[in-house]
Amino acid sequence: FQLKYRICPALIATKILKKYYSIALYGELKDRYEENIKYFEQYAIDCLDKCDDHDADRACELVIQQNELYGYVTCLQVASGANDERFIAAPACVQGMNNIWYDKLYPEQKSMTNQLALFIGFISLGLMAPNFVKYRENEKVRRKFPFFFK
């Protein structure tokens, strides 16, 4: 997957073009900048959607993976800096932000008992959380020691 080398540059291009657009004086020049902004933003979204159609987990990884070619920034950081709301609203980006927010917490904690467990974890300053809160299983550990997770 070479998409991370396509998505991040497209988002960087939108950031640069938006800056030029904000200081451009002429209508025709501004129109061309705006047209190019829309093109690169849509290109980044299309690349992410293609990846999401093929492998949703990989698409989620792409948006939060640091890109060494551009100073170890993530696609989400660039999109946020460029204020690319449509890209940030893409399902893979939303899932990536959920993964960042919840980290090791199991994200589907919508039932009343799970919410109560989270509340107890907060009230006890995290001391009771391991006993009540449901955590994600680490896939690397699961693959290394499959006999523990049956």
pLDDT in tens, 48-104: 999 889 888 888 888 888 888 888 888 999 999 999 999 999 999 988 888 777 665
Listed range (39-43, 61-65, 72-76, 134-138) with the worst mean pLDDT: 134-138
CB 133, CB 105: distance < 8 Å: yes
Give the start-to-end residue ranges of the domains of the chain: 4-102, 112-148
What is residue 135's three-state secondary structure?
A: strand
What pLDDT, in 10s, does the model give residues 97-130? 887 776 655 555 555 666 666 666 666 776 666 5
Predicted model pTM: 0.67
pLDDT value of residue 34: 94
Radius of gyration of the chain (CA): 20
Question: What pLDDT, on the 0 to 100 scale, is given for residue 56?
Answer: 86
Number of Cβ atoms within 10 Å of the Cβ of 123: 11
Q: What is the pLDDT of residue 144?
A: 47
Distance, CA of 62 to CA of 58 (rounded, Å):
6
**CB distance 18 to 80 below 8 Å:** no
Shortest CA distance to 66 belongs to which of 16, 42, 100, 107? 100
- Cα separation, 86 vs 42, in Å, equals 9
For residue 80, give every residue at least 6 positions away whose Cβ sits within 8 Å of its Cβ, in sequence order, or none: 88
Query: Does the pLDDT at position 14 exceed 70?
Result: yes
Average pLDDT over residues 137-149: 48
pLDDT score for 109:
54
